[in-house]
Amino acid sequence: MYHYSLSQWLFFFYFYCFFGWCFESTYVSICERRLVNRGFLRGPFLPLYGSGAIMMLVVSSPFQDSQPLVFLAGCVGSTVLEYVTGVVMEALFKVRYWDYSHKKFNFKGYICLESTIAWGFLTIVMTEWLHKPVEYFVLGIPEAVLSAVVTVFTVMLSADFALSFKAALDLRDVLVKMEATKKELMRIRKRLDVIIAVAGEDLSAKKEELLVDWKNLGFEEIRQGIEERLEKLKDAVSEYTGSTLHSLTREENGREELLDLLAQYKHSIAEHASLKGMKDFFQRDLIRSNPSMSSRKFGEALEELKDSVQKHKGKKES
């Protein structure tokens, strides 16, 4: 059983946060072929690794005489931590900072068998080899010095966490607003279909188009559809001066509705472009630091933001 003071436990946590950041950032940088400051925080710390390391120490401490039990304890404890962390973060921020959906034997993308086995082996490596020299080093530091160091790190990480947490919440709000603009465009497009149909076109001929599964359409497809419908209305008015469509657009109510739809369309497009611009540095950095982040509900919007961040980086480098 491990017997440490609060300062020592905190120092272990910060050390393994830093160690995990070094490991993860190196791995992702190699995969991406560019330097990546991996993680949720802006500083060189990954809290999941720090929490995982402390979890490994705690759950494995009763089984130090049996490596198989240490392995199993590490598998269970760390997997539970990873699952809970993943669920809570997605519930708060609407994005996944890791996703195992593409791996075999995964559970809802939060955990997978491969990761669980890796946690088990990491628990053995840490308890048998890694933690012993770290423990020896920390126990040799005077308590007063250790408390001062831990206090400095606590202040730094607290400030970093506050900024990163706000950036993640702001990013969530951007995704929600982008989805709202998409839904608004869907509403405009459907209303234009109805206007075209009522204005004199054969409704039966439009049936397939009017029954489109709107939810499966992307933002650009919806935008292009609206442009086509506006163009169709414009052409119809100019060509068929005696048609019902012409009468509709000449009537006060019909003309006002079309003008209102056009104004709403322009506003939605402008708002979407503004949101997509990603002017906030912390939000851009959060996306750059987590290239594999995904979102089940806001996937298309998130991919647009990723593309925008890449283009912004390209312009800055050029």
Q: Could you report the per-residue pLDDT of 105-163, keeping only the tens digit for each?
A: 999 999 999 999 999 999 999 998 999 999 999 999 999 999 999 999 999 999 999 99
Average pLDDT over residues 222-251: 57
The DSSP bridge pattern shows strands 106-107 and 111-112 to be antiparallel
Strands (E), 71-141: 106-107, 111-112
Q: Identify the pLDDT of residue 253.
A: 55
pLDDT at 254: 58
The token pair at 92 is 């708060």
Q: What is the pLDDT of residue 79?
A: 94
Residue 240, pLDDT score: 40
| Residues 68 and 80: beta-carbon distance below 8 Å | no
Q: How far apart are CA 24 and CA 196, in angstroms?
A: 55
**Domain boundaries, given as residue ranges, for the chain:** 6-141, 172-317
Residue 270: which pLDDT band, with cuts at 50, 70 and 90? confident
How far apart are alpha carbons 138 and 75 in whole angstroms? 26
76-98 pLDDT, tens digit per residue, is 999 999 999 999 999 999 999 88
Q: For the chain, give the mean pLDDT.
A: 82
Question: Distance between CA 315 and CA 300 in Å, rounded?
Answer: 23
Residue-wise pLDDT tens digits, 279-312: 778 888 888 888 788 998 898 889 889 888 887 6
Separation between Cα atoms, residue 78 and residue 295, nearest integer Å: 23
User: Looking at residue 26, what is its pLDDT?
Assistant: 87
In one-letter notation, the amino acid at residue 125 is V
DSSP letter for 246, please.
H
The answer to whether 225 touches 188, Cβ cutoff 8 Å, is: no
**Pairwise pLDDT comparison (283 vs 208), residue with the higher score:** 283
Q: Could you give the percent of the chain with pLDDT greater than 90?
A: 38
CA distance 202 to 219: 27
Distance CA 55, CA 45 (A): 17
The larger pLDDT score, comparing residue 181 to residue 262, is at 181
Provide the pLDDT for residue 30: 83
What is the percentage of the chain residues whose pLDDT exceeds 70?
Answer: 82
Residue 294 φ then ψ, to 5°: -140, 170
Measure the CA–CA gap between 200 and 240, rounded to whole angstroms: 11
Q: Which single residue is written with the structure tokens 């990546």?
A: 36
User: What pLDDT is recorded for position 315?
Assistant: 61
CA distance linking residue 243 with residue 236, whole number of Å: 8
Lowest mean pLDDT among 16-20, 34-38, 114-118, 248-252: 248-252
